[in-house]
Amino acid sequence: MSRVARSKTTVPHLPPEFVRRPDLVTVLDQGADRTLTLVCAPPGYGKTLLLADWARSRDVPCAWVALDEDDDAPPRLWASVLAALVTCPAVPATSRLHRLVVPRTTVGADFLADLLWALAAVPTPIRLVLDDAHLLRSREVLHGLHLVLRHCPGNVQVVLASRSDPALPVARLRLEEQLWELRTGQLAFSPAETAALARRCGLQLTRGQADALRSRTGGWVAGIRLAALRLREHPEPDAFLAAFSGDDRPVADYLAGEVLANIPDEQRDLLRRTSIADPVPAALAVELTGRADAADALTALTRTTGLVVASGPHRTEFRVHGLMRSYLAADLHRHGPALTAQLHRQAALWWAASDRPVEALRHAAEAADASLVTALLHHWAPELVARGELAELGRALVAAGDDATDAWLPLVAAQIDLGTGGLRAARTRVRAAAARTPHPGDGDLTAFRDATAGMAGLPAPRTAAPTPGDPALAALLLAGRAAAGILSGSDDGPAAAAGLLDDLEAALAIARDRRLELLELQCLCLIGGAAAVSGENARAAAAAGAAVATATAHGWHETAWTSAACAVLAHASLGRASPQGALDAAAEGLRIASDDQDPAVRFALRSARGGALFDVGDRIGGLLELQEAHAQLGGLPVPAALAASAVLLEHRAALLMGSSTAAATSAGRLLRGGCADGERTLLRAWSEAAAGSPRAARASVVPLLDGNLAPLLPSTLVEAWLVEVWAALRLDDRPGARQGLQAALDTAEPLDALRPFALAGQGLRVLLVDQLGGVRDPSAFAFRCLSARQRVRRPSDPRLSAREQDVLVELLSLSNLGEIAEDLDVSVNTVKSHVRAIYGKLGVTNRRTAVLTAVERGLLT
């Protein structure tokens, strides 16, 4: 037998920086009953050391062969294999393997049969590991390996470590379940393993740095180690990781020496030219290289390098390992920046013709071709805006530069602002675009301008743009026109809002059909807003909830549109007598909203939270929240319906707490608003009712009930009918009260307005019981109105001290505080302290309301 170096048949030693991977060792164990275990990955993925650790940590004896180029000849290969076998502890001294001699010229079937016969006679299992099997390429060697695998005895497991799939019947073995595989994805290091390797190289990385290193290298072990060695001496690790690429000198040397050195020049040129794209479709590879066989050449490289991977449903797209691609791109640039720009321009045009605008814009920007970027924006901006490709549009705008004559560019920038919540910046950009001269006859520009202005809440132009042919632009225009009516603070009321819903539903249908995800979110949010203005609480809640779900699904949960949807959901939940749902939605929206977002959204969220706090029993906290919401707004304009709704919430809370001063302050806000005559009438009626004047309250709501005065909010008419019910009961007009209740129910049911009934007094609830006539159908609206009271709680009964209870009893009398002090034999200041404590615990501000509240809660009899 030929002499074989001992180093070729020795299991390699593990270096100090080796990171053990017990999970992968266990995976290798699971292939024990298979004929062939194939560990296949590009160079530098730790194949050899993983197998060495496996061989050293397991009881199954291993015959190891470290292959080299000379082994690609049958005599040399089988001599190495035989040398490894006879030194394996599993092979006894009496084994025929010791007597086999490898022929010096041709290794035929007779020798291989003798080898297999002798292996079958070995009394224990044995593993034959052939490391660097990709070096075996000759037909004779591969034919011999094929024979061994076909007739391999059951006690022998063949293990091949290779950079690419060997030309062996791998597919057949896989089909017969005789193949066990570990591939690149399994061998790639995790972030934790990346950090462990860095530590063994003398480097302590933060979790973020380990994640970044793993991301930059794709888990490639050699890349991680090379980067870690450089990082030890770098003063700014984060900056190094951000810039780390395949053109870093140690990585570049490794790739050039271990991978690219074995690739012919024409294939290296193909890789360089296609390195500008990731992935590279076969047709684009033809375009960039001018080679009709580009796809075949790339397919061949997937087998020979392992760093090129075919992907896609038909395996007609190709990806190159990130570090290798960055090395190739840098190498291409060294061949000439002009060539790089030309290839990017070709790629941009190819992607544009393939209806892939994101990729087209990216390559046009890389080509530094401002005119091409601008032309692509003119064509694709509406669709990309509607899809939510805001980051890509932002990069494209930078590449396009500042062309002071192009009105498209500031509009695209405005749409980016709208998508991220910069409403004021968007309005400024829309006005800047209006100052630029449009291209003659550019109807798409006019439509895009109107759509953008509408989304920014600016009034619609006098001359509306014609409906464009581009579906995405048409949908944007429909949504923009509707948004202008909703966001501009129009006073036209629910009838106008209802008219906007058709446009929004049409835009939503297009967005869903064409998968325009951001526009879908915007339409849902606007539908919720329009439905809320129309008083349709159920529809508003459904649309807003769907908007939040859409935002979460597509990664826009932290955007201004989501906080606006939360505001709509909070108010709709409040109107449906679901204060806890309103609190949850408001809390989520306020968590998202930031100080530079639309103040109206924050005001809506805070006013909904104030109303909900009041409804769950925190009456003082609720009123304070409503007052602070107005204070934070600072007089900034908000949509009329929102302003009226917030005033009604605050006024009602103040009256129920007995604070006429706070009620008057809130009513004054509505007076300053210059609209909402119906709502002002309701406030007067509430005040008359709080003062115990049923005739005056009843007279106040007559213009609302007979239709002579149209309210801004649909729920105002419900509240007006309930004032009529309250007054009729106080005046002992039971028939009038029943008629009023029926009218209130008929008006409230289509709105799903439950809150007015939940806040109503005991007399109305008795009427509701009579109205049901014993029916207990949970779906009946009257039954839902009755049960809504359970979700709107009074404050819990306060715990008064014995002395406070004594003072409370004295408050029933006409005695002044001095007289009360004499009766209780305490000082006047002590009585004053007790009175303040009583007021605080009851949530009131005066003596009369304190007594009434105490009677209502059973604290005084």
**pLDDT tens, position by position, 485-499:** 777 655 455 555 566
The winner for highest mean pLDDT among 418-432, 587-601, 765-779, 782-796 is 418-432
Task: Tell me which residue of 46, 60, 54 sits closest to 27, measured CA to CA.
Answer: 54
**pLDDT tens, position by position, 102-129:** 998 888 889 999 999 999 999 999 999 9
**pLDDT tens, position by position, 161-200:** 998 888 888 888 888 899 999 998 899 999 999 999 999 9
Contact 247, 326 (CB under 8 A): yes
| Encoded tokens for 300 | 């061949």
Residue 663 confidence (pLDDT): 87
**pLDDT tens, position by position, 450-478:** 999 988 888 766 556 678 889 999 999 99
Of the chain, the percentage scoring pLDDT greater than 90 comes to 52
How would you classify residue 738: left for phi > 0, otherwise alpha for psi between -120 and 50, otherwise beta? alpha
Q: Does residue 376 or residue 620 have the better pLDDT?
A: 376
Has residue 412 got a pLDDT over 90?
yes
> Can you tell me the mean pLDDT for 620-646?
88
Has residue 857 got a pLDDT over 70?
no
> Which is it for the CA torsion 230, 232, 236, 242, positive or negative?
positive
Residue 812 confidence (pLDDT): 75
Instruction: Look over the chain and give the mean of its residue pLDDT values, rounded to a whole number.
Output: 88
Has residue 527 got a pLDDT over 90?
yes
Q: Where are the alpha helices (DSSP H) in 219-336?
A: 221-231, 237-243, 249-258, 265-274, 282-289, 294-304, 322-334
Task: Tell me which residue of 803, 802, 795 sits closest to 840, measured CA to CA.
Answer: 795
- In the sheet that holds 62-66, the strands lie side by side as 62-66, 126-131, 156-162, 36-40, 179-182
Residue 620 confidence (pLDDT): 87
CA separation for the pair 449, 456 (Å, rounded): 11
* Number of other CB atoms surrounding residue 738 within 10 Å: 16
β 156-162/179-182 pair status: unpaired
> Can you tell me the mean pLDDT for 294-320?
83
Residue 248 confidence (pLDDT): 82
Cα 796 to its chain centre, rounded Å, is 41
**pLDDT tens, position by position, 807-848:** 888 887 778 888 888 888 889 889 898 888 888 887 777 787
Residue 800 confidence (pLDDT): 84
CA separation for the pair 418, 111 (Å, rounded): 77
Q: Report helix, strand or coil for 753.
A: coil
> Can you tell me the mean pLDDT for 596-602?
80
**pLDDT tens, position by position, 2-47:** 678 888 999 999 999 999 999 999 999 999 999 999 999 888 899 9
Residue 659 confidence (pLDDT): 84
> Which is it for the CA torsion 513, 515, 516, 521, positive or negative?
positive
Contact 750, 783 (CB under 8 A): no
Has residue 386 got a pLDDT over 70?
yes
DSSP 428-483: HHHHHHHTSPPPTT-HHHHHHHHHHHHHTTPPPPSSPPPPPSSHHHHHHHHHHHHH
- Residue partners of 167: CB distance under 8 A and separation at least 6: 137, 142
Q: Report helix, strand or coil for 203.
A: coil
